[in-house]
Structure 1
């Protein structure tokens, strides 16, 4: 991944283009035009009209020409492009309208607050771990270590949830829907990168993944953004077999840059499989 691909102005331009091109003008109730559309989505002049700005302004934004749109203009563009809340936050972050305190990031591998580390342990027998915005794994309980194949054999400096999913051989078949697991993780990393533009460790991590894994590079280019904080996953454990878990991601109020991930068995069969795994 080149430096240009990690430039906020160029990413803002590409993101606006991608969201404009995905919209269906018929569904938005826009009047039909006599001349046929040569490209999918809305025209720039249609976005400009919906947002209340000039067409030239939209053109310059999509060309990455160094504009710094105001919060009011960004809000209008978000409405015109029908952005969801996660995409809207991403747009604001790219333009420099960020929440205070989210322009950098903690040092890679920084120790979490002792109270949070104890909480992870107290959640046993539910598998739990604490992640930072880079997906570095900061704390975990014995049940999570048992559930993730060969987790404790991974060097501490490489214990990153996305790296495990992408590059750890024992994890290649762990998620039954690996494509969706990657999409969720990449969408989170994209949002984290926009919120932490000065975080060199995060930028280096994304560049590493993009150069070492074709699936990551392909999905990163789709520019999906957001965090899926609740759902269900089918896991394929090499020893315990299929396990279905419901997951929940919680953000500590005093440490909102951290994420507490908790798995719960989704059915009695999965609960029994986990009990057998922990008893080994």
Structure 2
């Protein structure tokens, strides 16, 4: 198609989302190809595919091998899809939570144990809301994103206040302090590794920044191992 070639040449042409959707269906484009088509046109996908990154056995093995470093797999909506033993007790008790509540945004604004573990809570909440707004920009029409936003706005006045600031920031690594209920103060660096292009899935870890923190994380993993548990939980439905 001539206009498709023009799109790839970055020419300024106007194509509606409905037309792009019809083209994607006619050409049987896969998820990546469809996303590329809409990105070229600078258009919002009216029927985006459901984001459902899988936690493969290899990824789960990586999580386990990272211990005692707490680590989890999240999707772009901040659902926690899997986690290792140390992460399970880092900010509360992940195994005790219902799968639909294993979401970092939800926990940060509603769960008292999670909130008590964050040393600089006000700044952290502002940063998380700004990251969530940036991530949501590509998912504005998706029901799961809309449902999470409505749930947060309907439950937390604090979220409504922070959300009204309309701040936006991208993903980045950050040093932080956490106050763990079992082993005490932890000085860690929050790191993010993307698991694949266009999936939104990422591996998040909390790397110790000093020897005392590493020792405390080792004790935390031992405690989690002694308690048993689900070792990663059940991935939420996305």
TM (norm. structure 2) is 0.70
Give secondary structure in 2 for the equivalent of 1:185.
Answer: helix
User: Could you tell me how far apart the structure 2 residues matched to 1:254 and 1:161 are?
Assistant: 22
User: Could you tell me how far apart the structure 2 residues matched to 1:240 and 1:128 are?
Assistant: 17
User: Could you tell me how far apart the structure 2 residues matched to 1:164 and 1:274 are?
Assistant: 21
Counterpart of 2:26 in structure 1 is none
User: Could you tell me how far apart the structure 1 residues matched to 2:137 and 2:169 are?
Assistant: 11
Counterpart of 1:159 in structure 2 is 102
Counterpart of 2:146 in structure 1 is 203
| 1:137 Cα offset (Å) | 0.4
Residues 15-164 of structure 1: matches in 2 within 5 Å? 97=42, 103-106=48-51, 111-164=54-107
Counterpart of 2:167 in structure 1 is 224
User: Could you tell me how far apart the structure 1 residues matched to 2:219 and 2:124 are?
Assistant: 25
| 1:247 Cα offset (Å) | 1.3
Tell me if structure 2 keeps the 8 A contact 1:103–1:195: no
Distance change in 2, residues 1:274/1:178 (3 Å):
same
Q: 1:181-223, CA deviations, whole angstroms, 9 ceiling, x for partnerless residues?
A: 2122211211222101221111110111112112211111111
Counterpart of 1:43 in structure 2 is none
Moved more, 111-120 or 141-150: 111-120
Give secondary structure in 2 for the equivalent of 1:209.
Answer: helix
| 1:276 Cα offset (Å) | 2.2
Q: 1:244-273, CA deviations, whole angstroms, 9 ceiling, x for partnerless residues?
A: 111111112345411210111111121122
User: Could you tell me how far apart the structure 2 residues matched to 1:193 and 1:263 are?
Assistant: 24
For structure 1, list consecutive stretches of 5 or more residues without a partner in the other structure. Answer: 1-69, 72-92
TM (norm. structure 1) is 0.60
User: Could you tell me how far apart the structure 2 residues matched to 1:192 and 1:265 are?
Assistant: 27
Give secondary structure in 1 for the equivalent of 2:137.
Answer: helix
User: Could you tell me how far apart the structure 2 residues matched to 1:142 and 1:197 are?
Assistant: 34
Distance change in 2, residues 1:147/1:251 (3 Å):
same
Give secondary structure in 2 for the equivalent of 1:239.
Answer: coil
Counterpart of 1:174 in structure 2 is 117
Higher relative contact order (CA 8 A, sep 6+): 2
